[in-house]
Amino acid sequence: MSNRLARETSPYLRQHAENPVDWYPWGEEAFDRARSEDKPVHLSLGYAACHWCHVMAHESFENPQIAHLMNERFINIKVDRQERPDLDDIYQQVVQMMGQGGGWPLTVFLTPQREPFFGGTYFPPQESHGRPGFSQLLQGLSEAWRNNREVLQQNVEQLLKGYGVMDKLMLEGDTPLEQDQPAAAARLFARNTDPVHGGLGNAPKFPNVACHDLVLRVYQRLHEPDLLQSLELTLDRMAAGGLYDHLGGGFARYCVDERWAVPHFEKMLYDNGQLVKLYADAYRVTGKAAWRRVFEETIDYTLRDMTHPLGGFYASEDADSEGEEGKFYVWTPAQIKAELGDTDAALACRAYGVTANGNFEHGSTVLHRDAVFDTGQELQLQGLRNKLLAARAQRVRPGRDENILSGWNALMIQGLCAAYQATGTPAHLDAARKAADFIQQHLSTPEGGLYRAWREGTAKVPGFLEDYAFLANALLDLYECGFDRRYLERATQLVELILDKFWEEGLYFTPSDGEPLVHRPRAPQDNAWPSGTSTSVFAFLRLYELTGRELYRERAEQVFAMYRAAAAQNPFGFAHLLAAQDFLQRGPISIVVAGERSAANAMVQDLQRHYLPARVLAFAADVPIGKDKSALAGQACAYVCRNRTCGAPAMGAEELVERCGL
């Protein structure tokens, strides 16, 4: 029999609908029962593409004996962290306060009042490798609840106090002496780049897009060779390794090794949206054709495999298929030979590093590119790639999380806009517009706010700060791509809602009218995607340049002041906020174009091919600074403005590029 999760729209929750566990979704019904039966709550958070979530589900939640223990002694709640990142943030902090690393599945135990008293991540069914068994943990916590509750209550009090301590620590620290914090952080990232394989840190190795984005921005300003060298190494090695899908395009979430060889095969929309933008921006700096191929193949993957018929983008694809991690993606020499024949298979195996021993399980190989070929061989290889991709399409695909999340869609819209500006390819802009229109139609509230998630015709969960901030910036990017005024107006509305719903002596992650929780998180640090705080600051600064509204700049300055010490102590966690600081301190350029909209749009296309991260574009009639700007002799012209003071008009695309110092 199915449990309550069968009625949910979340693919992750539905994965657990056939468990023998008496699961509840998050809500009053579960906590009412916990109070009435005086039982503790077992809270389990994860997401659909999470490999270790699947492992714990199979080992424990599908085990009748463990499920019986869970049902007898606890009220059990399942949460999709993609739908409720607020709950994930709050209860991940429990694990961190207990001295552990966070992650998923997240396992937390609560009082019926939602107060945490114990937490961890993955637990095996029985004790192994130094981890307590889930069965023993359930029994021990249940006995403590029944017979030693005062100890658990002490845990509750310490953890609740700990939230305040952690928030306070984030706001404390010495004012940094370094005047150019963005440059200092970028140099730090460059120095700490793996000199052989690129990237930051050791295994497991993640893309860390916000850090590399900051390096690119500072390089464009200071032209220090070490910055570009570190970035080129990282982008080349990520694209050559197994992190990148060499047949289908797109990136996996991370690699388990330091060489980018073997990925954790799940593919997340947020990674691919950010990486499309990073590679497109880097392509605008270098003109490197290989990077254009990477971001365009990643867009092809997104449009082919991750797009709803109405234009929204799905959340993720699993690592597993047919019960095995990576089975969909890996190859053996025999499999390649069966598809291509002996001669072509030899070229393909050499190109993609496929060997008899392999680099993955059971002698299989995760494809990668190390060998260099001439132009003729590369053309031949493209045909072989298409054959292998068609053959792979006949395999059982990994599961797909078809939740459409407003904030993650906005990250892909930004990637598509960067790709369009870098190449002029109309299909990239068309896809961005369709996704934005999908969000407007299906994920907007009647009052003009946002929902977090949509699936199967149902929008749910009020949006969080990151949803509003990501979408505001994405719509500003869309506006700059074609001067469609409705995108500027909607972005402005979203920023006003940020100030109304999320601002209270700084920015909070949850809205002021949201569900009361044990803690209201601020969440200022970047994680796998930029923080809502730093992204809001970008929106404030960009709209200040376009509108001149002083409040936007004041709010941005307040956020910088709040986290200046924290960013100096942990630039890795505040890379995107430092990018916003770089935008401000270099003095952004406002480019205002007058004339017919179509002619104005054509005039800025050459400029868009250049990477100029501290600039805004506007059509004169749309913004206050352009109210007295007009075409000259019937021709479109552009005004380059700094500090709200504009120079003489540029009369052509080439002159405009020169005026911008490019």
Q: What is the pTM of this model?
A: 0.96
Question: Which residue, 475, 570, 586, is CA-closest to 524?
Answer: 570
pLDDT confidence band for 379 (50 / 70 / 90):
very high
| 456, two tokens | 């199967």
How high is the pLDDT of residue 176?
A: 81
pLDDT confidence band for 173 (50 / 70 / 90):
confident
CB of 185 within 8 A of CB of 179?
A: no
Q: Give the mean pLDDT of 76-97.
A: 97
pLDDT in tens, 34-84: 999 999 999 999 999 998 999 999 999 999 999 999 999 999 999 999 999
Q: Give the mean pLDDT of 598-610.
A: 95
Q: Give the mean pLDDT of 549-574.
A: 97
Q: Give the mean pLDDT of 360-373.
A: 93
Q: Give the mean pLDDT of 494-502.
A: 98
Domains 4-171 and 181-320+401-585 in one fold: no
Q: Is the pLDDT of residue 167 over 80?
A: yes
How high is the pLDDT of residue 283?
A: 98
pLDDT confidence band for 131 (50 / 70 / 90):
confident
d(CA 101, CA 256): 17
Architecture per CATH, 4-171: 3-Layer(aba) Sandwich (3.40)
pLDDT confidence band for 322 (50 / 70 / 90):
very high
How high is the pLDDT of residue 1?
A: 74
CB of 132 within 8 A of CB of 87?
A: no
CB of 34 within 8 A of CB of 22?
A: no
The least confident of 110-119, 339-348, 373-382 is: 373-382
How high is the pLDDT of residue 178?
A: 85
- Where are any strands of DSSP class E within 541-583? none
Architecture per CATH, 181-320+401-585: Alpha/alpha barrel (1.50)
pLDDT confidence band for 148 (50 / 70 / 90):
very high
Q: Is the pLDDT of residue 151 over 80?
A: yes
pLDDT in tens, 135-146: 999 999 999 999
Q: What is the DSSP string of 454-502?
A: EETTEEEEE--HHHHHHHHHHHHHHHHHH--HHHHHHHHHHHHHHHHHT
**How distant, in Å, are the alpha carbons of 172, 257, 488, 601 from that of 482?**
43, 42, 11, 6
What average pLDDT does the chain have?
Answer: 96
How high is the pLDDT of residue 101?
A: 85
pLDDT confidence band for 644 (50 / 70 / 90):
confident
How high is the pLDDT of residue 517?
A: 96
How high is the pLDDT of residue 41?
A: 98
d(CA 595, CA 462): 40
pLDDT confidence band for 459 (50 / 70 / 90):
very high
Q: Is the pLDDT of residue 573 over 90?
A: yes
Q: Give the mean pLDDT of 517-543.
A: 97
The residues spanned by each domain of the chain are: 4-171, 181-320+401-585, 329-394, 589-659
| 576, two tokens | 């995107």
Q: Give the mean pLDDT of 521-545.
A: 97
